[in-house]
């Protein structure tokens, strides 16, 4: 997959915390049917940055997408895949997934794990397209205010060394 037109990739820095929180909360507005809370805030983004990295996609000076990656031994956690709402459906999320997997593979990861909320019924199909499979469940945080019972579905994907070369072969 090639990069969507005119997008630039970089790692987030602490000064990005506020625009990152805004992007993530805007992208996750679709979850308002089960939770009225924002997904994160600038302090939360900075906390994430202490444990992992955010890959950012920008068009000019505008942040259009991000994904969070946290190393956990031979595994990585992938989260907060976010695309600016007016750009959703244009392939940016798929491109971020490719970049995230390439980053994890280069860092020596053997598996990537992610969590989705069970009431977001469209998400398993989305992640199945990338080879992720359900591998367990986890409780929703007890402090989270939801309008219905929720839990996390854990999805995982084993990385293979040959996949990165295969992805880049069509460039």
Q: Which domains, ranges and CATH numbers included, belong to the chain?
A: 8-168 (3.40.630.30)
Contact 98, 81 (CB under 8 A): no
Q: What is the pLDDT of residue 39?
A: 87
Q: What is the pLDDT of residue 30?
A: 83
Beta-carbon-side half-sphere exposure of residue 48 (alpha carbons within 13 Å): 28
Q: What is the pLDDT of residue 2?
A: 53
Residue with tokens 């190393």: 71
Q: What is the pLDDT along the chain (171 residues), one digit of tens a residue?
A: 555 668 999 999 999 999 999 999 999 988 877 887 888 999 999 999 999 999 999 999 999 999 999 999 999 999 999 999 999 999 999 999 999 999 999 999 999 999 999 999 999 999 999 999 999 999 988 888 898 999 999 999 999 865 443 343 333
Q: What is the pLDDT of residue 91?
A: 93
CB-based burial, 92-119: b 16+ in 10 Å, e otherwise: bbbbbbbbbbbbbbeeebeebbbbbbbb
Q: What is the pLDDT of residue 154?
A: 98
Beta-carbon-side half-sphere exposure of residue 152 (alpha carbons within 13 Å): 16
């Amino acid at each position: 997959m090639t990069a969507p037109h005119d997008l630039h990739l970089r790692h987030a820095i602490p000064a990005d915390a506020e625009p990152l929180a805004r992007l993530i909360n805007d992208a996750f507005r679709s979850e308002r049917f089960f939770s009225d809370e924002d997904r994160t805030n600038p302090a939360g983004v900075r906390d994430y940055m202490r444990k992992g990295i955010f890959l950012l996609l920008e068009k000019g000076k505008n942040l259009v997408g991000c994904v969070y990656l946290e190393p956990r031994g031979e595994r990585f956690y992938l989260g907060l895949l976010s695309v600016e709402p007016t750009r959703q459906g244009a392939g940016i999320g798929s491109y971020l997934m490719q970049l995230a997997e390439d980053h994890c593979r280069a860092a020596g990861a053997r598996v990537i794990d992610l969590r989705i909320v069970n009431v977001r019924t469209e998400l398993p199909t989305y992640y199945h397209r990338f080879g992720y499979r359900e591998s367990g469940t986890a409780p929703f945080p007890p402090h989270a205010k939801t309008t219905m019972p929720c839990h996390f579905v854990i999805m995982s994907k084993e990385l293979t060394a040959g996949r990165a070369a295969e992805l880049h072969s069509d460039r």
